[in-house]
Copies of this chain bind each other. A is one copy, B any other.
Amino acid sequence: MERIPILKMGDVLLVTIQVDMHDQLALALQDDLTEKISHTGARGVLIDISAVEVVDSFMGRMIANIAAMARILDAQTVLVGMQPAVAITLVELGLTLPGVRTALNVERGMALLLAEVGSPSRSLLGEADGDGQG
């Protein structure tokens, strides 16, 4: 069975959706993604939908579900690369994607996540260095 690959880049997991989502694939993606968040301790999830030309309510619900699951696992989700026509369709369908933030492209989404999440290990090290008691 085909699976959607999840790429780890630092504290962020990147998912690129290129194929039509159906039930099985969506469930597999949810399983894989939650597993990978738990396993890697990722703090952010970037979902790129630049190749998606049609979004229906199923896809909208799947993205909202993934974002909700990620949030419970302490990871934030940013949806990037949405085509203009898809944005129009989403609003016309009344799908507001609650709890999902969006960015124009992967670079901006990554910047958004890094600004929010930061690099925990580095900030901890920074505090230890800067605020030492010695």
Contact = CB atoms under 8 A, between A and B. Distances in A.
A107 B3 contact: no
B51 A8 contact: no
Nearest to A53: B2
A105 B8 contact: yes
Contacts of A18: 2, 4-5, 16, 18-19
Contacts of A51: 2-5
Interface centre among A7, A51, A105, A106 (most CB of B within 10 A): A7
Interface string A84-111: 0000000000000000000001110010
A50 B5 contact: yes
A57 B61 CA distance: 39
B2 A106 contact: no
B48 A9 contact: no
A51 B7 CA distance: 11
Interface of A: 2-5, 7-10, 14, 16, 18-19, 48, 50-51, 81, 105-107, 110
9 contacts: A2-B51, A3-B51, A4-B18, A4-B51, A5-B48, A5-B81, A7-B16, A9-B9, A19-B19
